[in-house]
Structure 1
């Protein structure tokens, strides 16, 4: 019987392989037009994959306890980078958002590092404070301030999708870590209220929501990608039109190699393969939960749970956007969509998960059916 770390790595390798294949299929037309090189995006992704694989390998070898003393430093660096990317002339502005640093032909998105830094700091803080997290200042004010700093900086870019992702994952980690539900509920209500007000005052985001509610009315503008993504799934049927034979990638889906790559999977490889991708992410989630459940200490449990949830929740949001269950968010599909910084941080997180899994302990009999939340501060 295969062990959890082996299954986890196999799932990631399958997703990475599918990502490279689909990137080769989807990116050639746009790359040829912009860079006069059909393989431009593919070659860039391969470079990022090599970098990400090296970082993931090192993270898998590094004892995850060594991340504990680095948690605060990582958080400060991530917050500074998020602040710097907002400065004109330093951060690159694309599509109305200032989210990237350009380094040669490579781009880096600091919000990706911030997601990892946030989970690292929350896991460190909650594990250090133990049962004191039930208190107001240590369990609510301090960790929620950490979450608020990252969320506000990402929100200012603006990147509403990543803000929602960080907020949801952060609150879940705090809940599992033992913070009182009442404190989290108040923060969630305040955060959602502020978020709603901001959306109502942002014409682009507001129109995306209106287009989500009435896609036909915005068929040539804000619903353009959504309607074409749905057409891609309809055209693909159960088994697809064949690899490389997509019609929708011919400018009907401008983000065919990034945020909407799942739609091209549905068109070229069919519903069966699309469901296979969903099952792979479900398998990743359950492997991560198993790793968290068996981690040897509170820090490992919380970190494994947070990393697992962040990656899986991002996949769920991306897929729900593509099939029309959520408004457009602009989040890539982990391991599959083109994007260097997302790939690097995702494989870093997988490496950390793998190292936690290697140090797992077998739970005693009376803990086998105990929720993670009740086991976090044991041992």
Structure 2
């Protein structure tokens, strides 16, 4: 027998020898993500977090209000001095309204949804009653041709139609939510009655005072509610055609409204200076350039531009802060509108959906009407820029409505969980055992570690923050 030749031993890799490393991939290679792609993915993750709408509403409304205070102070000084008042007269009144509005905002943001629904009917009844008082001689007061004010004594006045916007949003949302629970919204009569008749009552009371701008916003809120509830296209179109027909009749029956309609796109004041305000608003925007003439350096507010601190404050903003300032204001309103739509679209509760959509429709429609008039794209309707223009009667209900949006954004389960995680540890411990308990238990490392592990175990995934 012949012996088989032995196989050569196979070399063994030393245990300490590391595995060969692959060369790092270059950015932009087919297998890896480039820097812009990674940045986009990171931004998308941050944008999809549950607290995005909450922070957009809170931060956007705060920035608009603060910037509005600055511009009211700048735009109203000459107007106040020409009226024999202190230069800070309008600013101080607006500051008081902003402080009161902040209290309303905080109260609304902390109220449960059930309490918001409870306020719907009382607020609607009070608004209708006050708008009826406006038409009583000796109680109602006329301002700039519109009798929509009630004199409260001293320098304070109240415009009830501003509170009617909030009342219609809350009452309409509660009405549609209750009908939806009873499966009645599939019938057209339950979609329209009593929502449309009550809205027509509000419109009639407002138009008795001649304020068509506010009437347009009330009509926009009605269409927003019908759209959110899923009204059939034929029904929605029919109501829209009826509203446009009524608006056309109201415009053609008034020489003042027809003159405002003719001033769309005007570049010359025209005969009898009918388009004086519209043209000088364009002058103010055009002279601002990219970055404006500087805060307080507007020339149009020196008696050339009527209502520089109310209806045409956006024009003064363009003159003093330039295109950069006006685009910043528009971006803040766009962020606020997006956050409101996001809150309405992600909730499962019908009342929250309708109320959030109604508030968003109200604020964005009013902003579009105001800015469109300043730009010469729409007729001058005499409505203030929400949260920005001077006027306490407009600021108070608007800030309460923003508080509603904040409350709705907080009511989302994922947002509640994220807010609970982001609460300071001291606040969590204080709410459980008081500050004395924190000081007493702070020296126990084992208990501190146990609380830390428990808090980490209760955290949602990183995408929920």
Q: How does 1:1-379 map to 2 (within 5 A)?
A: 1=46, 3-104=52-153, 105-130=155-180, 131-212=183-264, 216=268, 218=270, 220-361=272-413
Residue 367 (structure 1) aligns with: none
Superposed CA offset, 1:230-252 (max 9, x none): 11111100010111110000111
Uncovered stretches (5+) of structure 2, i.e. residues with no partner: 1-45, 416-465
3-state secondary structure, aligned to 1:216: coil
- TM-superposed CA distance for 1:296, in Å, is 4.0
Partners in 1 of 2:357 and 2:350 — Cα distance? 11
**Shift in alpha-carbon separation, 1:170–1:302, aligned structure 2, 3 A:** same
- TM-superposed CA distance for 1:219, in Å, is 6.2
3-state secondary structure, aligned to 2:309: coil
Rg larger for: 2
- TM-superposed CA distance for 1:215, in Å, is 5.3
**Shift in alpha-carbon separation, 1:110–1:65, aligned structure 2, 3 A:** same
- TM-superposed CA distance for 1:362, in Å, is 5.2
Partners in 2 of 1:320 and 1:288 — Cα distance? 21
Q: Aligned residues, how many?
A: 363
3-state secondary structure, aligned to 1:321: helix
- TM-superposed CA distance for 1:213, in Å, is 6.0
Q: Contact 1:122 / 1:174 at 8 angstroms: preserved in 2? A: no
- TM-superposed CA distance for 1:65, in Å, is 2.1
TM-score, normalised via structure 2 length: 0.75
**Shift in alpha-carbon separation, 1:213–1:4, aligned structure 2, 3 A:** closer
Partners in 2 of 1:187 and 1:199 — Cα distance? 18
Q: Contact 1:127 / 1:299 at 8 angstroms: preserved in 2? A: yes
**Shift in alpha-carbon separation, 1:80–1:56, aligned structure 2, 3 A:** same
Partners in 1 of 2:266 and 2:69 — Cα distance? 34
3-state secondary structure, aligned to 2:149: strand
Q: Contact 2:263 / 2:376 at 8 angstroms: preserved in 1? A: no
3-state secondary structure, aligned to 2:193: helix
Uncovered stretches (5+) of structure 1, i.e. residues with no partner: 364-379
TM-score, normalised via structure 1 length: 0.92
Residue 372 (structure 1) aligns with: none
